[in-house]
Amino acid sequence: MSRWTGRWPTDGIAFGADYNPEQWPREVWAEDVSLMQEAGVNLVSLGIFSWGQLEPEEGRFEFDWLDEILDLLHGAGIGVDLATPSAAPPVWLHLQHPEMLPVDADGLRFTHGSRESWCVSSPVIRHHATRIARVLAERYGHHPAVKMWHVSNELACHNGRCYCDVSAAAFRDWLGKQYADVDALNLAWGTAFWGQRYTSFEQILPPRRTTTIPNPGQRLDFERFSSDAFVAHLEAEAAVLREVTPHLPVTTNYMVMGDFHQIDYQATTPLVDIVSNDHYLWAENPRGWAELAFSADRVRGLSGGRPWLLMEHSTSAVNWQPRNLAKEPGQMLRNSLQHVARGSDGVLFFQWRQSRAGAEKYHSGMVPHAGRDSDVFRSVTELGAVLGRLAEVRGSVVPRSRVALLWDTAAWWASDLEAHPSVDVQYLDVARDLHGALLDAGVAVDVLPASAALDGYDVVLVPTLYLAPSDLSDRLSGVVSRGGQVLVTYFSGIVDQADRVILGGYPGAFRDLLGVRVEEFAPLPADGVVSLSDGSVGTVWSERLVATGAEVLATFADGPSAGRPGLTRRSVEGGGGAWYLSTRLDGPSVAALLDRVLSDAGVEPVVPSPGGLEVVRRSSDTGSWLFAINHTGTDLPLRASGTDLVRGASHSSGDRVPARGVVVLRED
Ligand code: GLA
């Protein structure tokens, strides 16, 4: 994280949206601002896609509309998170420089007419994006409405990988810096296989479409290279903003949601002053709230535990899923407060006013097509009022947990590579299983990048970390030797940093730590199920494992690894344990296993609560706040007392949280 120590952009919890006034005639603006005041909005992101409006021809600027809107917002006491507009370059730039458009792995060049249509390695976009950033910083950086910078938008969302000739040259440059010479690259990429040997860097291309399986080392390096290119783009824009306006914090909206992993966000955190994130539910997922909690915990991990900002989510439906279900009554409030519970000091949406035209006109907004007289706008004003009452929470943190769960973007990239033992091993599945089970048990967890320091953690969970940081085994040994519990699951620590298998029996990186040696993977057929001797049920995976220095806690009772260990524990003097699980457990079995691991470490829930009642604490020097979010259709008891800031009433231990409702207690 940057060392920025300035003020948060709002006094209380930030509340607002992306605001795109350029989509509306001026008459609407005054109504916008008065509705914003009615709803309690205090921050809007402006100008995200406005480059074409601001600079309709190269060097000719139209600022009057932005001048006017900034003054209007300022007059109403609404702060602005001003964007650099690089997510949507103007048409003239595309026409002048068609070479800036990205190219896919099949060699097809995209066309302008949407957004993010640029190759991140293009010097053209770098030049023009930093140029317009400077223009905006110089003109608006001291406007009193402007509270922070929003660099571009969801970097790499649509243009994450480009295979054009400019990218190819940049990739070769990048490789030249990673490898001493081309022989070192040949060794790392294993090019002796299929005679892929290179005799000079000049022969190397991005992993464009090949006849069959491409070289995995090349693929993995291309992921790293592409991510680094976006980090460099962010750095370039942020450097201009910091040079001109050192007083303003800089952010960029991450996409820590679902399966997006085009950027290693951990590498960007030193470049932002406030970590912010966009989150959209997958509307048909009945456990979408658990996915939301997982995302929010990952963001808090990236933010080093400090408050972060929910930059976008939706008031109701999105428009880009197969079936865009509207949110149920009360769901927006629950979703928003889940993010706040897990460390966000803001609740922002895409977007303020639902568009009338364009690609996203069926995406909900704070002001829907129906206008002010609508349930959506009424629930928006209700949310604004609740957030107003939660102002005192701002700046508090989710206390550090004793439990950590590790994830890593490079491991994800490597795990995604082609021709692996089973398509049913999907990188985040087991992480989600474990996080979901902790959620149901009411146990707080810090979801951390795998490079994070592990001091102070008593339980560390390492799900399917196929490619592990080279020092991780030592850090995990440290946890175990001071009496902590470490749980590693199958398909972890298999390869080195270049995706070459660590020989001598899997999991090469963790064999000694765990006291196990796997001779052969034995994945299950589609929908295959195995039973273990302790009554648990496995799916997806099994292994032919030998316990070399660990106690066998359960063996496979059937399936391709029948009679072999499925769950082991290497015990260390002082109570420490290194657990290894070689299958994907079903829900009840995960819960039972975690119960054993947590009780060995003496970890308790935040507040013992029934399933479906999500309970999270935030605290500061001045107090503590307990968020209780009821995801069920039944009123559920909360065993804690204080003042419920949502209803403004006192709450005694055992009083109920209404079905599908939320209680936020200022604790006694
Ligand atoms: C992303 C983008 C927004 C908008 C929303 C729609 O989050 O940043 O501009 O497209 O998706 O869900």
Model pTM?
0.98
DSSP state of 653: T
Considering the domain architecture, whether residues 644 and 525 belong to the same structural domain is answered as no
pLDDT value at residue 2: 63
> Which pLDDT value is given to residue 301?
98
Report yes or no: 51 and 26 within 8 Å, Cβ to Cβ.
no
Using 50, 70 and 90 to split pLDDT, how confident is the model at 420? very high
* 149 and 19 within one domain: yes
Residue 221 has pLDDT above 70, yes or no: yes
pLDDT band at 6 (very low <50, low <70, confident <90, very high): confident
Q: Which helix (H) or strand (E) holds 53?
A: helix 51-54
Domain limits for position 656: 613-667
Q: Let me know if residue 216 belongs to a domain.
A: no
Calculate mean pLDDT across residues 516-527.
98
The strand pairing partners of 250, in sequence order, are: 149
Using the structure block, give the residue that is written with the tokens 């070399």.
548
Task: Give percent helix, percent strand, percent coil of the chain, each to the nearest 5.
Answer: 30, 20, 45
Tokens found for residue 439: 């959620």
Amino acid at 482: R
Cβ(410)–Cβ(266) below 8 Å? no
Q: What is the DSSP letter of 336?
A: H
Atom of ligand 1 nearest to the CA of 49: 9
**pLDDT by residue (tens digit) across 580-612?**
999 999 999 999 999 999 999 999 999 999 999
First to last CA, the chain: 34
Residues 595 and 619 in one domain: no
Nearest-angstrom CA–CA distance, 133 and 117: 18
Query: Does residue 66 belong to any structural domain of this protein?
Result: yes
Verify whether ligand 1 is closer than 6 Å to residue 116 (CB atom).
no
344 pocket-lining for ligand 1 (C-beta < 6 Å): no
Does the pLDDT value for residue 106 go beyond 70?
A: yes
Instruction: Say which CATH number the domain at 159 has.
Output: 3.20.20.80
Residue 509, pLDDT > 90, answer yes
Measured in Å, residue 381 CA sits from the centre of ligand 1 at 22
Residue 244 banded pLDDT, cuts 50, 70, 90: very high
Residues 433 and 296 in one domain: no
Position 570 pLDDT exceeds 80: yes
Q: Are residues 655 and 565 in the same domain?
A: no
Here the CATH number for the domain that contains residue 663 is 2.60.40.1180
Q: What is the pLDDT of residue 3?
A: 62
Cis peptide before 262 (omega within 30 of 0): no
Q: Give the span between the Cα atoms of 486 and 570, in whole angstroms.
A: 10
Whether residue 633 contacts residue 659, with contact meaning beta carbons closer than 8 Å, is answered with: yes
**Same domain, residue pair 357 and 462:** no
Res. 4 pLDDT band, cuts 50 70 90? confident
Last residue of a domain, one of 360, 391, 422: 391
pLDDT in tens, 319-377: 999 999 999 999 999 999 999 999 999 999 999 999 999 999 999 999 999 999 999 99
491 belongs to a structural domain: yes
Whether 8 lines ligand 1, by a CB cut-off of 6 Å, is no
Give Cα separations from 588 to 298, 366, 585 (angstroms): 24, 39, 8
Query: Does residue 593 lie in a domain region?
Result: yes
Which of 565, 587, 261, 618 minimizes the C-alpha distance to 412? 261
Instruction: Decide which of 391, 419, 442 is a domain's last residue.
Output: 391
- Ligand 1 center to 46 CA (angstroms): 14
Q: 592: helix, coil or strand?
A: helix
Q: Percent of the chain beyond pLDDT 90?
A: 99
**Residue 186 near residue 199 (C-beta atoms within 8 A):** no
- 364 CA → ligand 1 middle, Å: 11
Quick check: CB of 258 below 6 Å from ligand 1?
no
Residues 353 and 493 in one domain: no
Q: Are 432 and 566 part of one and the same domain?
A: yes
The verdict on the CB of residue 315 being under 6 Å from ligand 1 is no
**What's the structural domain count of the chain?**
3
Q: Does the residue 33 lie in any domain?
A: yes
Ligand 1 center–CA 661 separation, angstroms:
27
Q: What value does the CA radius of gyration of the chain take, rounded to a whole number of Å?
A: 26
Q: What is the mean pLDDT of residues 376-399?
A: 98
Residue of 445, 463, 551 whose CA lies nearest to 507: 463
Q: Which amino acid is at 387?
A: L
For the segment 443-493, what is each residue's pLDDT rounded down to a tens digit?
999 999 999 999 999 999 999 999 999 999 999 999 999 999 999 999 999
Whether 209 has a pLDDT exceeding 70, the answer reads yes
Best probe residue, ligand 1, of 48, 260, 360 (max atoms within 8 Å of C-beta): 360
pLDDT at 271 (0 to 100): 98
d(CA 220, CA 200): 19
Contact call for residues 342 and 331 (beta carbons, < 8 A)? no
Whether 301 and 445 map to the same domain: the answer is no
Residues 118-139 pLDDT 10s: 999 999 999 999 999 999 999 9
Local structure of 47: helix, strand or coil? coil
pLDDT bin (cut points 50, 70, 90) of residue 5 is confident
Average pLDDT over the chain reads: 98
**pLDDT tens for each residue of 148-206:** 999 999 999 999 999 999 999 999 999 999 999 999 999 999 999 999 999 999 999 99
Asked if pLDDT for residue 405 goes beyond 70, the answer is yes
Residue 63 lies in a domain: yes
Last residue of a domain, one of 581, 601, 621: 601
Q: How far apart are CA 21 and CA 594, in angstroms?
A: 50
Q: Which residues pair with 546 in a beta bridge?
A: 517
| Local structure of 291: helix, strand or coil | helix
Residue nearest to atom 12 of ligand 1 (CA): 318
Tell me if the bond preceding 507 is cis, omega within 30° of 0: yes
Distance 47 CA to ligand 1 centre (A): 14
334, 445: one domain: no
Are 382 and 242 within one domain? Answer: yes
pLDDT over 90 at 279, yes or no: yes
**Ligand 1 centre from 383 Cα, in Å?**
21
Residues 6+ apart with CB under 8 A from 173: none
CATH number at residue 529: 3.40.50.880
Ligand 1 atom with least separation from CA of 255? 7
From the CA of 280, give the closest atom in ligand 1. 12
Is residue 2 one of the residues assigned to a domain? no
579 lies in the same domain as 661? no
280 close to ligand 1 (CB < 6 Angstrom): yes
Residues designated as active site: 154, 312
Q: What are the structure tokens assigned to 596, written together?
A: 């054993």
Question: Is pLDDT of 270 > 80?
Answer: yes
Domain membership of residue 191 (yes or no) is no
| 506-524: average pLDDT | 98
If pLDDT is split at 50, 70 and 90, which confidence band does 1 have? low
- Under DSSP, the state recorded for 641 is -
Quick check: 55 pLDDT over 80?
Answer: yes
Ligand 1: which atom is nearest the Cα of residue 312?
7
